[in-house]
Amino acid sequence: MEGYWLFLALLGSALLLGFLSVLFALVWVLHYREGLAWNGGAAEFNWHPVLIITGFVFVQGIAIIVYRLPWTWKCSKLLMKLIHAGLNTIALILAIIALVAAFDFHNHKAIPNMYSLHSWIGLTAVILFALQLVLGFAVFLLPFAPVSLRATVLPIHVFSGLVLFGTVIATALMGLTEKLIFALSPGNYSRLPEEGAFVNTLGMLIVVFGGVILWMATRPHWKRPLEQSTKSRQRNGGMLDGNEEGSTMTDGSNTDKSDVEFNSEASARKRSPKLDEAGQRSTM
Amino acid sequence: MEGYWLFLALLGSALLLGFLSVLFALVWVLHYREGLAWNGGAAEFNWHPVLIITGFVFVQGIAIIVYRLPWTWKCSKLLMKLIHAGLNTIALILAIIALVAAFDFHNHKAIPNMYSLHSWIGLTAVILFALQLVLGFAVFLLPFAPVSLRATVLPIHVFSGLVLFGTVIATALMGLTEKLIFALSPGNYSRLPEEGAFVNTLGMLIVVFGGVILWMATRPHWKRPLEQSTKSRQRNGGMLDGNEEGSTMTDGSNTDKSDVEFNSEASARKRSPKLDEAGQRSTM
């Protein structure tokens, strides 16, 4: 793998930033706020930032780069797809519980729901993320979709995934802003108390985490090699799993593809360079 | 150009969304707020959202996709670089004036500066954007940088540009959230008055604008063809302008490159496939 040590350093940074973000969220609600509970009060609302940052930011971020881990390249592509889909399912479940916590808190306190820009964009993101997951499952995991459909959907899947990830981070930043203004006594945020600086730092950590994930996800030379995955498909009985090579995302084509033609998918690619291009180069 | 009509439709949508965003910002401050003035009061602050949305969102977005306009492919690459850099310079100038408006308003009203997450991320984005502009000018516009340096810097330039664009949009959304909470009388935002819904809609417009720009910018088949720009360089006397082909961004290699070798840059690329790959496929 080209640039292996840089990859390792960035992966370590991403994990550190992700863990730190979750830790900061926990310290925020446990030390500065009312803790965690499920009682309709502020402590129930506190599950909202904790679960969003854990699931919808950190777990989703890892799900995005899971194909890039070189140690997984000997695993079958199907296994990696299951891990990718599984992590994203965990992210969605945590996001939904986070939404329930916020709605439940609002309802107990007679605070209206869905009035803020944060809620408009956030709910849209959760719905689109669920749609993305269902479509991804139907097209890339179930064995029914023809290669041409996979080739058409893949660039959209990859682009949507990255933009949704960015949108989730933007929504989280809006949420932190809202909560700080509401929670700190009127005007107190502007005096930048310790809690304000702490949560601002949490926001910065999330942004840098997002940047590192997007960088790792869009480097072509860190892409899972086609050759190896095709060989593993051959070992798995020539299972047709589409143009999934680009299914995290990439900006370049794969240099190892010219000498592989093991199954009908590879043949279809060879016959149709357009399909190949769509599958290989589909993405951000 | 493959998918010409889709490109046209998306370009039309981007322009419409961008104009609508600027229009919404103007209607917001002129109809719902205190108008525009430079008097240290709220009307001076109002320049902040108007100039950020006009310059740092709309103009920057257009600067990103300017290489993709097929009508410009007959223009020299140098001209397109000057337009790209010029638009980004306009974006930066408007952003700086927007910052001055916010700081000046705060100082007149004895409101502290730089306490919010919005201000932390926003100022960081402006500084990094300025750095990006200076580095881009030095490496891609001035004739001194060797091809290898350009090839190294290009993927970073493109990635940083797109991530900064996304960060600016996220910061704008935080700013809209803050302003709505501060400006609407306490608790009134939660009753979602007309102004709240109007500005939420503005936020949604900005997000969709960003999505359309990023999609157009990352489609490989809408990339400025290498062959034509190389020919135009030849007409311009073989000016060395580096691996600028990917300098908006792309996820794929260019299919037209195999038969071009007009100048030292093309020769260098041919001798060094790595350089070529870095230049051509550098990007998101």
Distance CA B146, CA B157 (A): 16
| Tokens encoding B180 | 């709505």
Please state the rounded mean pLDDT for residues B241-268.
37
The vertex-A259 CA angle with A254 and A263, nearest 5°, equals: 95
- Above 70 in pLDDT, residue B281? no
pLDDT in tens, A161-183: 999 999 999 999 999 999 999 99
Interaxial angle between packed helices A264-271 and A273-280, expressed in degrees from 0 to 180 and rounded to the nearest 10: 110
Contact A32, A38 (CB under 8 A): no
Note the pLDDT of residue A227.
54
Residue A244: pLDDT above 50? no
- pLDDT, residue B1, reads 82
Distance CA B52, CA B121 (A): 14
> Does the beta-carbon distance from B186 to A190 stay under 8 Å?
no
Q: What value does the mean pLDDT take over residues B111-139? A: 98
Return d(Cα B220, Cα B217) in angstroms, integer.
Answer: 8
Find the closest chain A residue to B120 by CA distance.
A200
| Predicted confidence (pLDDT) per residue in B207-218, tens digit | 999 999 999 999
Residue B56 CA, chain-centre distance (Å), reads 7
Could you tell me the two tokens for B1?
């150009």
Per-residue model confidence (pLDDT) at position B132: 98
The reply to whether B113 falls in a domain is: yes
- Across B91-112, b (16+ Cβ under 10 Å) vs e yields bbebbbebbebbbbbbeeeeee
Task: Determine the average pLDDT of the residues in B166-185.
Answer: 97
Average pLDDT over residues B191-204: 98
Nearest residue to B254 via CA among B277, B235, B274: B277
Answer whether residue A280 shows pLDDT above 50: no
Q: Summarize the confidence of residues A47-59 as an average pLDDT.
A: 98
- CATH number of domain containing B186: 1.20.120.1770
pLDDT, position A267: 40
Q: Classify residue B185 by its DSSP letter.
A: -
pLDDT for residue B185: 85
pLDDT surpasses 70 at A234 = no
Q: For residue B279, is it within any domain?
A: no
Long-range contacts of A43-47 (CB under 8 A, 24+ apart): A44/A101, A44/A104, A44/A105, A44/A108, A45/A101, A45/A102, A45/A105, A46/A101, A47/A97, A47/A98, A47/A101
Q: Percent of chain B beyond pLDDT 90? A: 77
Residue A263 has pLDDT above 80, yes or no: no
- What is the four-CA torsion angle of A57, A223, B61, B97, rounded to 10 degrees? 60
CB contact under 8 A, B173 and A207: no
In a domain, B234, yes or no: no
Q: Do B281 and A177 touch (CB under 8 A)?
A: no
Distance CA B204, CA B210 (A): 10
Please count the structural domains in chain A: 1
Higher pLDDT pick, A226 / B198: B198
Q: Which of B115, B127, B157, B158 to mutate to test the interface with A (most CBs of A within 10 A)?
A: B115
Tally A–B CB contacts below 8 A.
Answer: 149
Q: List Cβ neighbours of A201 (8 Å cut-off, separation of 6 or more).
A: A24
Q: What is the pLDDT of residue A281?
A: 36
Residue A242's pLDDT is what?
37
Residue of A nearest to B122 (CA): A204
**8 Å CB contact of B177 and A178:** yes
Question: Nearest Cα to A84, choosing from A32, A136, A43, A36?
Answer: A136
Q: Which amino acid is at A119?
A: S
A235, burial (CB in 10 Å: exposed 0-12, middle 13-18, buried 19+): exposed
Q: Give residue-wise pLDDT tens across range B179-190.
A: 999 999 878 999
**CB-CB contact of A115 with B192 (8 Å):** yes
Burial category of A159 from C-beta neighbours within 10 Å (exposed 0-12, middle 13-18, buried 19 and up): buried
pLDDT given at position B282: 35
User: Sorting pLDDT into bands at 50, 70 and 90, what band is A262?
Assistant: very low
Task: Summarize the confidence of residues B97-109 as an average pLDDT.
Answer: 98
- How far is the C-alpha of B181 from the C-alpha of B178, rounded, in Å? 5
- Please give the Cα distance from B137 to B165 (Å, whole number): 18
Closest-approach residue (CA) in chain A for B156: A215
Which tens digit of pLDDT belongs to each residue from A184-221?
987 899 999 999 999 999 999 999 999 999 999 999 99
Q: Which of A107-116, B88-97, B108-117, B275-284 has the lowest mean pLDDT?
A: B275-284
What pLDDT score was predicted for residue B2? 87
pLDDT value at A279 more than 80: no
Give the pLDDT score at A103.
98
What residue type is assigned to position B272 of the chain? Answer: S
For residue A182, the one-letter residue type is F
CB contact under 8 A, B211 and A163: yes
Give me the mean pLDDT over the B229-237 stretch. Answer: 46
What letters, b where the CB count within 10 A reaches 16 and e where it falls short, cover A128-139? Answer: ebeebbeebeeb
- Collect all residues with Cβ–Cβ distance below 8 Å to B209 and sequence separation of at least 6: B14, B17, B18, B21, B57, B58, B61
Longest alpha-carbon distance in chain A: 67
Cα distance between residue B63 and residue B83, in whole Å? 8
Six-digit token string for B72? 């410009």
**How buried is A80 (Cβ within 10 angstroms: 0-12 exposed, 13-18 middle, 19+ buried)?**
buried
Interface test with B, best of A119, A250, A284 (most B CBs within 10 A): A284
Instruction: Mark yes or no for CB contact B180/A250 under 8 Å.
Output: no
Mutate to test the interface with B, among A115, A157, A184 (most CBs of B within 10 A): A115
B137 in any annotated domain:
yes
**Domain with B112 in it:** 4-224
Residue in B152, B150, B129 with CA at minimum distance from that of residue B141: B150
Tell whether the model's pLDDT for residue B284 goes beyond 60.
Answer: no
The CB density around residue B271, as the number of other CB atoms within 10 Å, is 10
Quote the CA–CA distance of A125 and A164 in Å, as a whole number.
6
- Could you tell me the two tokens for A92? 């969605």
Confidence of residue A229 (pLDDT cuts 50, 70, 90): very low
pLDDT value for A185: 85
Answer whether residue B230 is part of any domain: no
Burial class (CB in 10 A: 0-12, 13-18, 19+), A109: exposed
Place A256 in a pLDDT band, splitting at 50, 70 and 90.
Answer: very low
Distance, in Å, from the CA atom of A98 to the CA atom of B257, rounded to the nearest integer, reads 50
pLDDT in tens, B8-45: 999 999 999 999 999 999 999 999 999 999 999 999 99
Written as six digits, the tokens of A98 are: 């986070």
Q: Residues A106-124: what's their mean pLDDT?
A: 97
pLDDT at B191: 95
pLDDT-derived band of residue B102, with 50, 70 and 90 as boundaries?
Answer: very high
Query: CA dist A232 to A73, A154, A226, A236, Å?
Result: 9, 21, 10, 6
pLDDT of residue B5: 97
**Mean pLDDT value of segment B197-211:** 98
Amino acid A265: pLDDT: 39
Q: Look over chain B and give the mean of its residue pLDDT values, rounded to a whole number.
A: 85
B161 pLDDT above the threshold of 80:
yes
Closest by CA to A24, choosing from A179, A200, A240, is A200
User: Residue A44: pLDDT above 50?
Assistant: yes
Q: Which two tokens stand for residue A236?
A: 């798995």
pLDDT of residue B227: 54
- End-to-end, the C-alpha distance of chain A in Å comes to 21
Instruction: Verify whether the Cβ–Cβ distance B190 to A115 is below 8 Å.
Output: yes
